[in-house]
Amino acid sequence: MPLPQPLLDLLSSHFGDRLSLSAAVREHHGKDESHFPPCPPDAVVFALCTEDVAVAVKACADHRVPVIAFGTGTSLEGHILAPHGGICVDVSGMNQVLEVRPEDLDVTIQPGVTRKQLNEHLRDSGLFFPIDPGADASLGGMAATRASGTNAVRYGTMRDNVLSLEVVLADGRVIRTGGRARKSSAGYDLTRLFVGSEGTLGIITELTLRLHGIPEATSAAVCPFPDLEAAVNTVILTIQSGIPVARVELMDAAMVDAVNRYSKTDHKVAPTLFFEFHGSQAGVQEQAERVQAIAAEFGAEGFQWALAAEDRTKLWAARHSAYYAGINLQPGSRAYTTDACVPISKLAECLLETRADLDQSRLKSTIVGHVGDGNFHVLLLVDPNSAEDEAEAERLNHRIVRRALALGGTCTGEHGIGQGKKGFLAEEMGEALDVMRSVKAALDPLNILNPGKIV
């Protein structure tokens, strides 16, 4: 169905040349980094302020046309695809850091600010924002998908680090979900309701985030293990011992090999843990000693330390490029990414059974994980033109999800539901999915906000 002309006229008069109908622009806004084929919106508007977003949403509501928020397009479950067409609201131009308040360890930003941009802005303040998905995603998108990353084991996820939001509702009204107090019991937790709602309940137009002091001391280390089991058991015991590691990341041997090729590093090709410790000088040393003792118990082959900031940056840049490194193993492929997360005591079982499964498959695959949270990703490399590859990846993913659910876990630790995991959500939530549907119907009765996602 073509867009109603009165809607286009209204958007054109408000947005001028910030409304685009060009195929290239629509195409760009109709694909993310998932394996899903592109599915472009009918038009794109480039918002520069909250009012722009409100005008677009109100106009779409008046004409019952879908409206989809877009940040950087780096989501992994088809979140920003437009299966029902409609208007894409690109908020990447809303990229102002509005106010840093070092005295309260918080910051207010527009949703298009990316995580790297924010930390660059904070560079001289002694503060940082810890949540770091692989991509340099927009913080609006990260809030919308309840993203996390390597630091979540210590600093939590977007759930824990958003103090409040400004949101445009489905009818174009603008609300604030709270103030800047560290805690509040003032009614329903609307902040947490919108965090993770993937643009289906409202569009985030401003975020107030918690910041953290850059630790007095930081050290990082890489440690190869004789096998996957030894690496995972080291993680489990570290977490169970309550050692406050800032990061503990796993790569299987295939992933280390991929990263070495892509990032020109020379890590030993073996199951490997990447650690980071934050604290005082004494605290960091104490944590490192305790973890080394645990790792030694499981036959670790020695810690290689990255003490200089520059070396740490290089180490984590390599880790953050793992997704691209994985894809690079098979040029022309797309990555089918899994996202299981289980209670820590079940991690060894879940990971080892998964690795055994993968070893039986003809698809190339690598494993990388935020294992301190019990979360890991399998990158399954599929030829985008092969239905067989796709089917095999789906089969493997199904097995991984079912295994995680049977162990008390979730089908998605941090990527979200989008289009890709709707079936799994029903399995995971049972009748609770009805509650989600009721909430969706209450807040978006016309079903115009990112339709076809989550519920």
Site for a second copy in 329-368 (CB under 8 A): 339, 341-346
Q: Binding a second copy by CB under 8 A: which of 182, 264, 331, 359?
A: 182
**Shortest distance in whole angstroms from residue 10 CB to a second copy:** 23
**Shortest distance in whole angstroms from residue 215 CB to a second copy:** 8
**63 vs 54: CA distance, rounded Å:** 14
Q: Does residue 73 bind a second copy (CB under 8 A)? A: no
Of 368, 371, 377, 387, give the one whose Cα is nearest residue 336: 377
Considering only residues 199 to 228 of the shown chain, the ones binding a second copy according to CB under 8 A are: 201, 212-213, 215
**406 vs 350: CA distance, rounded Å:** 10
Q: Does residue 193 bind a second copy (CB under 8 A)? A: yes
Q: Measured in whole angstroms, how far is the alpha carbon of residue 55 from the centre of its chain?
A: 28
**105 vs 326: CA distance, rounded Å:** 36
Residue type, 444: D
**Shortest distance in whole angstroms from residue 5 CB to a second copy:** 32
**Shortest distance in whole angstroms from residue 245 CB to a second copy:** 13
Phi–psi pair at 144, nearest 5 degrees: -65, -30
**296 vs 233: CA distance, rounded Å:** 11
Q: Which is nearer to a second copy, 48 or 429 (CB)?
A: 429
Considering only residues 421 to 450 of the shown chain, the ones binding a second copy according to CB under 8 A are: 421, 424-425, 428-436, 438-443
Q: How many CB atoms lie within 10 A of CB 172?
A: 18
12 near 64, Cβ under 8 Å? no
Q: Binding a second copy by CB under 8 A: which of 240, 313, 361, 386?
A: 240
Q: Does residue 37 bind a second copy (CB under 8 A)? A: no
Q: Which is nearer to a second copy, 106 or 389 (CB)?
A: 106
Q: Does residue 124 bind a second copy (CB under 8 A)? A: no
**275 vs 440: CA distance, rounded Å:** 40
Q: Does residue 312 bind a second copy (CB under 8 A)? A: no
CA atoms within 13 A on the CB side of 46: 12
What number of chain residues touch a second copy (CB under 8 A)? 95
Q: Binding a second copy by CB under 8 A: which of 306, 367, 411, 449?
A: 411
CA distances from 230 to 154, 292, 370 (A): 22, 13, 16
**Shortest distance in whole angstroms from residue 388 CB to a second copy:** 29
Q: Which is nearer to a second copy, 113 or 443 (CB)?
A: 443
